[in-house]
Structures are given as structure tokens and as C-alpha cells.
């Protein structure tokens, strides 16, 4: 039973509180008129000087202390307790490495957000940000690659810091190119340091492997050997596109092709799946699908501890009873004083 107005407090034996109902009865019984006097007087004038007036009001005060003492004792019997509880997750979650292509072709503006054209990298970061926010129990990191890989953010639980580091996923940091195999290998090395049983690589690229010393299938075999699953996503639309560079120049991409066969092979080796995203909606749906596929059941364990607080009302009961007895036999003694005749 919880205690009103006292957060995290309960009574272990609330049935004892029923004894409080006896206190009004005791107070009423104490205030009942006594029996009729043995000797009847026609007037009290004759008794005026027989003694001092009894201290009935003071006696009522001591009785009030006694009743308060009994009430405090009943509260102690009800065993008030402070509840100390917390939840624990008995799962280790998943380690996920987002592996993102940042070659110059990712600046092609063939995606739309709110009706306005945006480049592929902006669309990818928009969807990755939503994905990160939904994975509250997982360690997530980012590996970016162009002609060579680099790591904008190591694996972490810190969602705010991870989202902030998405700004570091940009073109022009490394030499241009598309080193898919090197990007996969870098992500695999990062995940290999994690101790969780489930590890996932999500590879997002818009081109074919043309840089690096390691082929994508060989990198996928390395990751699979380490128990890592790989999902591959080809992003963008085929054809010839213009690429607006940060310095204001505009260049042509040449014929845009996707090496779907290699990406499918990488996903097969990595026991994952291959997806094609040619617009924002498709990309969002792909990440939503991966999110569902890689959901790990989170089992919560609630731990409740209690701290006994009965000694506080018990101490109050003892103090009130002691004070009542002290006053009863000293300052508030109600016995009449003898009068000399």
C-alpha cells in the first residue's frame, strides 16, 4: 500500500492501520462523565475551600500525547518502507557500423526532400539519422569511404554525439574513388573489437568498386568469418548526371551504372540482403526493413529493494509516551493540594 503525499513510500502491513479506528473511541471513552458522587451536596459553596481545582484540561493534554503515541506505534506496526527500484536490461544489444560512400557522385541531386532536390549524401544522412534515433540499445558507428576509408565516428551509445558526427560524413575528405572493399574491411575491423554476439554492417554506395587493394567479395568473406552480417544498398538513379562541386564547378558523372551483381554477392556472403534505393521513400523503407530484421528482443528485469522506516514512528511513539508520563507526574500533576484548617 502506497502512502499518500510521500513518493516511493509504502506500508508493508497496511492492515495494522485499522487499529487507528480505535483512537476516536478511546478519546470518547476518556471524555465520558464519571459516576455520580457518593455524597450529595445541596450546594458547592461548602466545598469551596477543601482543595484546589483539579487540572482537568492539563490532564486532557497528557491524554492527547498518549493517543498520539499510540498512533505513532500503530504506524510503526504497519512498517513504512521506502521503495528503491530500478530496471535492468539483460541484453547486450547489437553493434552496427554504417558504411557510407562519399565519392563525388554522391553529390548528384536526384533525390527530393519536401519537393526540393537534394544530393544522394544528404538523403542518406537524413535516413541514417532517423535510423540512429530508433536504435537506442545498440552501439552504432560510422565508416565513410571514397578512394580510401576514414572513420567519422567510432561505435558509441551516445546518440546526440553520433548524430552530430554525421556532419563529418562528407565528400572531399579522402581522394576520390569508390573503394567498397576497403570500406567494408575498415567497418569489419571496427566491429571485431566489439564483444556483443550480433554485429551488422550496412553498406550504402552509388557506384562500382574502382579503388583500394581489397575486392568487395574478399572483404565480405573476412567479415563473414568474424560473424558479421552485411546489408548492401545501391543508392541513386542510373544515367548521366551533373555533379555540382562545393567550389561551384559542375562536372558530368559520365554514365552512372551500379554494380548490382557485386553488391548482391557481398550481401549473400554476409548472410544479409541487397536493396536498391532510387528515391527517398525507397531508402526510408529499406532502413525500416533492416531495422525490423535486426531487432533484438530487449528483456527488462525490475529490481525492487525496500528500506525499513518503522523506527521513525517507533521513536516518536516512545518520545511522546515518555513526555506524557513525565508531565503527568510532574508539571501536570492533577492531584488536589491539602489545605490547612
Alpha-carbon span 198 to 191, nearest angstrom: 10
Whether 76 is covered by a domain: the verdict is yes
Q: In terms of domains, do 315 and 285 share one? A: no
Whether 39 is covered by a domain: the verdict is no
Q: In terms of domains, do 174 and 317 share one? A: no
Q: In terms of domains, do 83 and 228 share one? A: no
Q: In terms of domains, do 173 and 288 share one? A: yes
Q: In terms of domains, do 108 and 192 share one? A: yes
Average pLDDT over residues 106-115: 92
Query: Residue 12's pLDDT is what?
Result: 80
Query: Residue 54's pLDDT is what?
Result: 46
Do the beta carbons of residue 105 and residue 243 sit within 8 Å?
A: yes
Whether 338 is covered by a domain: the verdict is yes
Q: In terms of domains, do 224 and 317 share one? A: no
331 vs 130, more confident:
130
Whether 38 is covered by a domain: the verdict is no
Q: What pLDDT, in 10s, does the model give residues 261-313? A: 999 999 999 999 999 999 999 999 999 999 888 876 555 555 567 778 888 88
Q: In terms of domains, do 1 and 97 share one? A: no
Query: Residue 292's pLDDT is what?
Result: 87
249 vs 30, more confident:
249
Average pLDDT over residues 245-267: 86
Q: Where does the pLDDT of residue 97 fall: very low under 50, low under 70, confident under 90, or very high at 90 and above?
A: very high
- What percentage of the chain reaches a pLDDT higher than 90? 38
Residue 65, φ and ψ in degrees, nearest 5 = -65, -40
Q: In terms of domains, do 192 and 313 share one? A: no
Whether 43 is covered by a domain: the verdict is no
Query: Lowest-confidence range among 114-118, 119-123, 125-129, 324-328?
Result: 324-328
The answer on pLDDT for 131 being more than 90 is yes
Range of the domain at 196: 91-293
Query: Residue 285's pLDDT is what?
Result: 94
Whether 150 is covered by a domain: the verdict is yes
Residue 219 sits in a domain whose CATH number is 3.40.50.410
Q: Where does the pLDDT of residue 85 fall: very low under 50, low under 70, confident under 90, or very high at 90 and above?
A: low
Q: In terms of domains, do 62 and 108 share one? A: no
The answer on pLDDT for 70 being more than 90 is no
Query: Residue 88's pLDDT is what?
Result: 55
Whether 35 is covered by a domain: the verdict is no
Q: In terms of domains, do 216 and 74 share one? A: no
Query: Residue 233's pLDDT is what?
Result: 96
Query: Residue 183's pLDDT is what?
Result: 96
The answer on pLDDT for 162 being more than 50 is yes
Alpha-carbon span 177 to 105, nearest angstrom: 9
Q: Where does the pLDDT of residue 95 fall: very low under 50, low under 70, confident under 90, or very high at 90 and above?
A: very high
Q: What angle do CA 51, 47, 36 make, to 5 degrees?
A: 100
Alpha-carbon span 278 to 287, nearest angstrom: 13
Cα-to-chain-centroid distance, residue 177: 42
Alpha-carbon span 171 to 312, nearest angstrom: 67
Whether 149 is covered by a domain: the verdict is yes
How high is the mean pLDDT of the chain?
82
81 vs 88, more confident:
81
Average pLDDT over residues 114-138: 92
Query: Residue 53's pLDDT is what?
Result: 47
Q: How many domains does the chain have?
A: 2
Query: Residue 239's pLDDT is what?
Result: 85
Helix axes 280-293, 120-134, angle to 10 degrees: 30
pTM recorded for the entire structure: 0.62
The answer on pLDDT for 199 being more than 50 is yes
Which residues have C-beta within 8 Å of that of residue 129, sequence separation ≥ 6? 163, 166
Q: In terms of domains, do 5 and 75 share one? A: yes
Query: Residue 55's pLDDT is what?
Result: 45
Q: In terms of domains, do 217 and 157 share one? A: yes
Amino acid at each position: 500500500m502506497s502512502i499518500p503525499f510521500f513518493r516511493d513510500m509504502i506500508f508493508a502491513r497496511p492492515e495494522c492501520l485499522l487499529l487507528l479506528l480505535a483512537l476516536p473511541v478511546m478519546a470518547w471513552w476518556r471524555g465520558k462523565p464519571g459516576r455520580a458522587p457518593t455524597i450529595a451536596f445541596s450546594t458547592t459553596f461548602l466545598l469551596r475551600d477543601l482543595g484546589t481545582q483539579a487540572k482537568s484540561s492539563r490532564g486532557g493534554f497528557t491524554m492527547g500525547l498518549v493517543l498520539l503515541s499510540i498512533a505513532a506505534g500503530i504506524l510503526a506496526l504497519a512498517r513504512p518502507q521506502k521503495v528503491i527500484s530500478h530496471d535492468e536490461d539483460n541484453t547486450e544489444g547489437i553493434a552496427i557500423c554504417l558504411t557510407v560512400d562519399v565519392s563525388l557522385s554522391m553529390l548528384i541531386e536526384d533525390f527530393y526532400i519536401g519537393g526540393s532536390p537534394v544530393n544522394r549524401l544528404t538523403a542518406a544522412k537524413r535516413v541514417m539519422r532517423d535510423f540512429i534515433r530508433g536504435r537506442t540499445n545498440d552501439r552504432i558507428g560510422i565508416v565513410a569511404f571514397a578512394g580510401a576509408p576514414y572513420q567519422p565516428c567510432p561505435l558509441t551509445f551516445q546518440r546526440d554525439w553520433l548524430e552530430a558526427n554525421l556532419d563529418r560524413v562528407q565528400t572531399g575528405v579522402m581522394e576520390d574513388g569508390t573503394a567498397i572493399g576497403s570500406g567494408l574491411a575498415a567497418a569489419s575491423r571496427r566491429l571485431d573489437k566489439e564483444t556483443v554476439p550480433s554485429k551488422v554492417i550496412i553498406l550504402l554506395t552509388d557506384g562500382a568498386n574502382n579503388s583500394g587493394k581489397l575486392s568487395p567479395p574478399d572483404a565480405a568473406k573476412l567479415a563473414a568469418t568474424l560473424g558479421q552480417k552485411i546489408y548492401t544498398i545501391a543508392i541513386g538513379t542510373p544515367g548521366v548526371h551533373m555533379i555540382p562541386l562545393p567550389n561551384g564547378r559542375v562536372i558530368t558523372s559520365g554514365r552512372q551504372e551500379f554494380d548490382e551483381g557485386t553488391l548482391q554477392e557481398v550481401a549473400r556472403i554476409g548472410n544479409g540482403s541487397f536493396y536498391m534505393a532510387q528515391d527517398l521513400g525507397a531508402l526510408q523503407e529499406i532502413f525500416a526493413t533492416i531495422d525490423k530484421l535486426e531487432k533484438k528482443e530487449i528483456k527488462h528485469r525490475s529490481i525492487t529493494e525496500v528500506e525499513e522506516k518503522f523506527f521513525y514512528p517507533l521513536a516518536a511513539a516512545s518520545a511522546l509516551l515518555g513526555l506524557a508520563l513525565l508531565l503527568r507526574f510532574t508539571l501536570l500533576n492533577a492531584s488536589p493540594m491539602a489545605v490547612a484548617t
